[in-house]
Amino acid sequence: MSALRVSGRTCAGGTIGTLGTVGTGVWHPSAPRAVRQGCRDRGDSAGWAAWREYLASRAQPRSLTDLLPGRGQPLSWALPSRHAGAIVSALLGPPGHGDGEQNLDRAWLETALAGWLDRAAASPYDPARAAEALAWCHGLPRLAAVLDAGAWWRLWEHLLSAAVEAEQLRLAETPLVHQLLAGELALSLGYWLPELVPCRRRLVSARRALSAGLLGLVDGEGLPRRRHLRLLRPLLACWTRCRALGDRLRGGPWNKAAQTRYERLLCQAPRLLHPDATSVLSASRNGQRSADRFEGAVLTGGNESHARSVAAVLRAGWNRSDPRLAVVYPGTVVRTELHRGRELLWAGAWDLAVRREGRVAEPRAAWEELRWVCDAEVDYLELELRLTAGLRVRRHVLLAREDRFLLLADAVLGQQPARLEYRGCLPLGPGVSFQPAGESREGFLVGSGGKRRALVMPLAQPEWRGDPRGGSLGRTDRGLELRQSAYGRSLFAPLWLDLKPQRMWRPLTWRPLTVAEQFAVLPPEAAVGYRVRVGRQQWLVYRALASRGHRTLLGHNLVTEMLVARFRPDGHVEPLLEIK
């Protein structure tokens, strides 16, 4: 079955004919008694009035704009046509406005609904009409206050039939329509109208359809199948809305295998989306853009500030409380946002200033992505910026999942020895302050409630303030500022942020390590190593700043450019990230 026409006669869990009765088996015990006993016939004005009053007074479920707040109307994401957008806007309000803020005109609605039902019954469903069906579905609760009983039940019956019959579509032939109807529409019916048994039963089939979609359309690495790459945006929009709804339902939107596939897709999505909101290798490059800023809302959970240029989102996990760092680099400026749950620790430009022999080195080109790693241990992003005076900056961003730390580091790389000065600054969020330690150089990011949210350690600087070498870390008018200077070809400026709440009060230390090559100690301009300890946990950081060679560090032989590892209890090193 490659095309879907809805007959309007089939309903699972009970049949409602065009002029028939709303049988008692349709109502779930969760429906009010007045509704179950009174609303048995579509002509029963008392029962219909009770149902309308109940829908108008429900505090739950929450709308999509509440679940994915602040970024416009989620049903407007990746819409296939302007007409579908007009339907969404008319029923649920324009992007940027909450559901229910716009008055519904009864005469217009009755005409629009009659015409839409006629067209939907006369021709096969396509993505645009499926999107319109979703808009009508999400409008069902508030439409009961405007439509008469007959029109409302006909709409409900049609949407339910569409979800039921869409199960027969072949996923490989019509993947988007299948996911929008058999998956999202079915899930939305069960979410909005669990008091109706046929809608509640759609949840099982919706989870089955959505699981099949993720597992069939996305491979084990989180990459869309090549033939479905052009559908990445609308599919990702569909699945993200379903996840928002499913998080409020027992059992979620899909099975565990599909959840893993979705998480991996989110890791890969920034690599696959152009800044103009189209998919890479897509034949369509007309730059359809949603005012709702789709990419950022999807990739950062609804907390994007620069969605059109989102390039990476690093996550420690998939719970709402887990740290996540959004990174955008549209030109010569890198902007970041670090969230711990709902709290914003910093947001804005990660400023960079480099001087060589007292002269400012200016950017010569935009930031360029060199590496992106997303695996079970870490998310890692590496960028490069070319400067004047023969300098380059390699920017490293690593977020460890299980270990719950964030490593931010800039490597300033040159050709000739010189006096190098570095300044990096992160703009702290509202209510967030930096609380320095007394005698040592670490400090804490403290939230508005006075709780420690992150431990910050400047690894290249001496641990004790009594040692005048190295640089400084502190709060300025710009934000959290790291300063370092050195004489040589290169300079490495790392910040280690421990994000695990249980470690905020543990004893800590860090030490620079000796790096040797052929029994000779290397200067910091050639290679650096650090050992970090918080409580009982320890980690190792190594970075080659000159050409790679056979190096030794703490008795370990290295032929790598970069290594970040944890120490196991037996003293052995377990790599989290190794770049060879």
Question: For the segment 127-136, what is each residue's pLDDT rounded down to a tens digit?
Answer: 999 999 999 9
**Least confident residue range of 107-121, 270-284, 459-473:** 270-284
In a domain? residue 459: yes
What pLDDT shows up at residue 204? 96
- Whether residues 337 and 445 share a domain: the answer is yes
Please give the structure tokens belonging to residue 522.
Answer: 């290397």
What pLDDT shows up at residue 24? 54
Each residue's pLDDT tens digit, 514-545? 999 988 999 999 999 999 999 999 999 999 99
- Whether residues 76 and 223 share a domain: the answer is yes
- Whether residues 77 and 169 share a domain: the answer is yes
Angle at which helices 45-57 and 127-143 pack, to 10 degrees? 100
Distance from C-alpha of 288 to C-alpha of 291, rounded to nearest angstrom? 10
**Least confident residue range of 36-40, 164-168, 371-375:** 36-40
What pLDDT shows up at residue 311? 64
Look over the chain and give the mean of its residue pLDDT values, rounded to a whole number: 85
Query: DSSP letters along 104-157, please?
Result: PPHHHHHHHHHHHHHHHHHS---HHHHHHHHHHHHHHHHHTTTS-HHHHHHHHH
Q: How many domains does the chain divide into?
A: 3
- Whether residues 244 and 392 share a domain: the answer is no
Distance from C-alpha of 508 to C-alpha of 512, rounded to nearest angstrom? 14
**Least confident residue range of 126-130, 265-269, 430-434:** 265-269
Confidence (pTM): 0.65
What lies within 8 Å, CB to CB, of 459 at 6+ separation is: 494, 495, 496, 510, 512, 530, 532, 541
Residue 422 has pLDDT above 60, yes or no: yes
Q: Which domain holds residue 383?
A: 323-505
What pLDDT shows up at residue 275? 41
Each residue's pLDDT tens digit, 57-84? 988 899 988 888 655 788 888 777 776 7
- Whether residues 196 and 228 share a domain: the answer is yes
**Of 505, 527, 549, which closes a domain?**
505
In a domain? residue 570: no
What pLDDT shows up at residue 218? 92
**Least confident residue range of 35-49, 162-176, 380-394, 462-476:** 35-49
> For the chain, how big is the Rg over CA atoms in Å?
28
Distance from C-alpha of 574 to C-alpha of 564, rounded to nearest angstrom? 9
Q: If we measure between CA atoms, which residue out of 200, 196, 143 comes closest to residue 36?
A: 196
Q: If we measure between CA atoms, which residue out of 133, 140, 141, 135 comes closest to residue 161?
A: 133
Q: CATH no. for residue 439?
A: 2.70.98
pLDDT band, very low/low/confident/very high, at 101 (cuts 50, 70, 90):
very low
Q: If we measure between CA atoms, which residue out of 474, 359, 351, 343 comes closest to residue 419?
A: 359
In a domain? residue 477: yes
Each residue's pLDDT tens digit, 331-341? 899 999 998 87
Each residue's pLDDT tens digit, 110-128? 888 999 999 888 888 899 9
- Whether residues 350 and 336 share a domain: the answer is yes
Q: How many CB atoms lie within 10 A of CB 535?
A: 13
Distance from C-alpha of 416 to C-alpha of 389, rounded to nearest angstrom? 10
- Whether residues 271 and 388 share a domain: the answer is no
In a domain? residue 530: no
In a domain? residue 347: yes
- Whether residues 43 and 72 share a domain: the answer is no
**Of 273, 304, 335, which closes a domain?**
304
What pLDDT shows up at residue 292? 35
- Whether residues 406 and 440 share a domain: the answer is yes
